Amino acid sequence: MKVMLHEMNWTEAREYFKNNDISILPVGSNEQHGPQNPLGTDHLIARAIAEETAKRTEVLCLQVIPFGVSSHHKQFWGTIFVSPRTFKNYVKDVCLALNYYGVQKIVIVNGHGSNRCALLEMARELREKGIFVSVFQWWEAANELLPELFKLEEKGHAAAEETSVNLALYPHIVNMNQAVDEEPHKHGVEAEGVSLPLDTLDETGSGVFGKSTTASTKKGQRIFEVVVNELVNHVKLIKEAKVGDLVQKPKVQ
């Protein structure tokens, strides 16, 4: 069975939408990931997790949306950034197009942490319209399910954890010869409880937050397998759930 929407023709799509009310939508970013990783890291990983989950659950998967909320990486060449509002509205329009064909349950596979706020805001708005959107982030699942696999300094942006998943999925576009370890430096005005609108360049010169030289293909494969399993479970639960149990409840009597 075909699961990728862009590989179906419209009669196959009709067949799917007439019998199913669920879809998977991967989103990510195109931004610097240190000297060793491809710019596409966040959307490439999201796409791989989403496609594998779609195959295992026979749930329709859309093409990945590759550009996200990344302006804080822009001083590194090749980062393509859109505003949170543009990103939210674009993803929302894609979800509404799915809804036109009867989809009421959408599982978003997000590959980039800074997309999260916009996605959750959108999910809340769509729930009011009777569309249930959940947002999955692989590194959060890995934190919970494989807490011992990497040390804290290996879990930062472009560090060993993310590089390992790339090594497992796309070894031909990772260059470990250029991998570096860089401890991010604190800004002079930082204090506990304060959030600062900093850019990546304010904290690291290489774009890596922490240790990346310890990346391992085997660990990356382990993460991929474990997070896909978790997502498969989630998709199955949503698939079986009644829409009425997922969307917003009416006001109290």
Sites of contact with Zn ion (CB under 5 A): 41-42
Min dist CB 118 to Zn ion, Å, is 16
Nearer to Zn ion, 45 or 98 (CB): 45
Nearer to Zn ion, 146 or 246 (CB): 146
Nearer to Zn ion, 45 or 133 (CB): 45
Residues 6+ apart with CB under 8 A from 86: none
Query: 105 with 22: CB under 8 angstroms?
Result: yes
Residue nearest to Zn ion (CB): 42
Residues 6+ apart with CB under 8 A from 140: none
Min dist CB 189 to Zn ion, Å, is 26
Min dist CB 140 to Zn ion, Å, is 13
- The residue among 250, 219, 200 whose CA lies nearest residue 29 is 200
Separation between Cα atoms, residue 120 and residue 52, nearest integer Å: 24
What is the widest separation between alpha-carbon atoms in the chain? Answer: 65
Nearer to Zn ion, 73 or 92 (CB): 73
Nearer to Zn ion, 98 or 165 (CB): 165
- The residue among 78, 252, 41 whose CA lies nearest residue 167 is 41
Min dist CB 47 to Zn ion, Å, is 13
What is each CA distance from 146 to 221, 224, 230, in whole angstroms?
12, 11, 12
Query: 128 with 95: CB under 8 angstroms?
Result: no
Min dist CB 243 to Zn ion, Å, is 33
